[in-house]
Amino acid sequence: MAEAGLTLRDDRLLRAAANGWSGEDMAAEYDITAAQAIVRVKDILASRDPWTQIEKKQLLLHSAYSLKETIEEAIASVDVGSTDRSIKVVEAYIKLLKTVSEVLDKQNSITENELETITRAQARALLQLVEAGYNRARDLLAEQYPDVDLVVLDAAFQVGMREATERDDE
């Protein structure tokens, strides 16, 4: 039966996609173009999954921490005489800690990669802005003062940029 909010065809398209059908397969079966079938499945999936990758990891960590707390409570209440059960609880706890650690490491890695990408994009945008401003000022200067030596101006600008970069590196 189709889920609430989905038409019978939507439900069938989702099932077909989940079973590896191509757009052409769905088109042949459900009287819809391949492109429409693919777009519809993607729209349905997107509407069901509003969380970003970072939010999904945060939700996973929340669940893991909740499970960790439950395991810690179980460890505290384990009878010393039941060693098999306590060993299993401790093993589960250790596995959970490893999993949480791995998720945190991956999340930090992705965040660092995203920050690096953003930083490079901002640097490119800033460079374009500086170049546009410099070129506009250079053009106006050449227009108003045709005798000015633009080569000297360009060289002075390059020296100033190099000096500013060297100061930032210190």
Over the stretch 102-115, which tens digit does the pLDDT of each residue have?
A: 877 776 666 677 77
Residue with tokens 């100061």: 167
Percent of the chain with pLDDT over 70: 86
Give the model's pLDDT for residue 63.
Answer: 79
Domain ranges of the chain: 8-48, 53-144
Q: What three-state secondary structure class fits 147?
A: coil
Give the model's pLDDT for residue 159.
Answer: 92
Residues of the chain with pLDDT under 50: 1
- What value, to the nearest 5°, has the Cα angle with vertex 26 and ends 25 and 28? 65
Give the model's pLDDT for residue 47.
Answer: 83
Burial class (CB in 10 A: 0-12, 13-18, 19+), 58: middle
Give the model's pLDDT for residue 81.
Answer: 59
**pTM metric for this prediction:** 0.37
Give the model's pLDDT for residue 53.
Answer: 66
Helix, strand, coil content of the chain in percent (nearest 5): 85, 0, 15
